[in-house]
Amino acid sequence: QSVLTQPPSVSEAPRQRVTISCSGSRSNVGNNAVIWYQHLPGKAPKLLMYYDDLLPSGVSDRFSGSKSGTSASLAISGLQSGDEADYYCAAWDDSLNNWVFGGGTKLTVL
Amino acid sequence: EMQLVESGGGLVQPGGSLRLSCSASGFIFDEYAMHWVRQPPGKGLEWVSGISWNSFSRGYADSVKGRFSISRDNANKSLYLEMNTLRPDDTALYYCAKGSAAGFSEYFHHWGQGILVTVSS
């Protein structure tokens, strides 16, 4: 059971928009920045979003992040087949003194 | 180009030990925290351990505390994970990851390709 809660899967058609939620608690998402990673099969995970809503250099602006209270979300617009991947949220947990992850969300582009 | 290359994985019996290594290049190794993150087969990512730039601070997931030990050699740009009393549920792909700052409570933003550890009799 992951500390952060994500939906196991989401799906949407090409060129549409999808959001992936990440729910935590005050000790992690509520007090600390949420990070998002994209994990393509057979590849190393890739940083997608940091400090809740900041895009690393080289990441498409089709990706956006937001946070309110103890919940965060990742939005992907203009869906492409190449976006099919597993997406993970993560945050530092002040109570556990650990990094915690969500269980991951598998994105399918229909 | 930033590179992290893991080595030392393999098949080990329950109760056995293994030492993972991660060789870093393309960045100033001794300015950044480093981490180990694992992914069991068919499951999600799990943070295993982190170490600050100067080795003064180290952290472990509860699931490995007392069995695993993280260390680094800044002169040789290497990160290590000593794994003892291994259990079948330690079977996973282990990733080495570079922190974004000196302390390991900051996010990690570059990952290696991973190395497989299988614990089975």
The answer to whether the CB of B46 falls within 8 A of the CB of B26 is no
Determine whether the interchain pair A44/B114 forms a contact, defined as Cβ–Cβ distance below 8 Å.
yes
Cα B97 from chain centre: 7
Helix (H) or strand (E) holding A98: strand A98-101
Read off the pLDDT of residues A31-69 as tens digits, 9 standing for 90 and up.
999 999 999 988 999 999 999 999 999 999 999 999 999
Is B120 an 8 Å CB contact of chain A? no
Is B109 an 8 Å CB contact of chain A? yes
Determine whether the interchain pair B111/A56 forms a contact, defined as Cβ–Cβ distance below 8 Å.
no
Determine whether the interchain pair B111/A44 forms a contact, defined as Cβ–Cβ distance below 8 Å.
yes
Considering only CA atoms, which of B99, B103, B97 is closest in space to residue B52?
A: B103
Is B1 an 8 Å CB contact of chain A? no
The answer to whether the CB of A63 falls within 8 A of the CB of A74 is yes
Read off the pLDDT of residues B55-91 as tens digits, 9 standing for 90 and up.
999 999 999 999 999 999 999 999 999 999 999 999 9
pLDDT mean across residues, chain B: 96
- Amino acid symbol at B85: T
**pLDDT score for A7:** 97
